[in-house]
Amino acid sequence: MNSEESQERLVRAEVGSDEAQIDQALRPQSLADFVGQERVKDQLSTLIQAA
């Protein structure tokens, strides 16, 4: 095993718990939390309510 393999990989497929917390904090919780794209948000809201 070379020195590169012995070090922890900086990029990996699985999500760490700290990454999941950061991701959750950054994601909008509702459609109203999205910034911009008012027309798109209105259309999505209409489609969701109709479903």
pLDDT, residue 18, reads 82
The alpha-helical segments, DSSP class H, found in the chain are 3-6, 17-26, 38-50
pLDDT tens-place string over residues 23-48: 888 888 898 898 999 999 999 999 99
Say how far apart CA 27 and CA 29 lie, in whole Å.
6
Global pTM value = 0.49
Q: Across the chain, where does the E strand assignment appear?
A: none
Report the pLDDT averaged over residues 5-16.
70
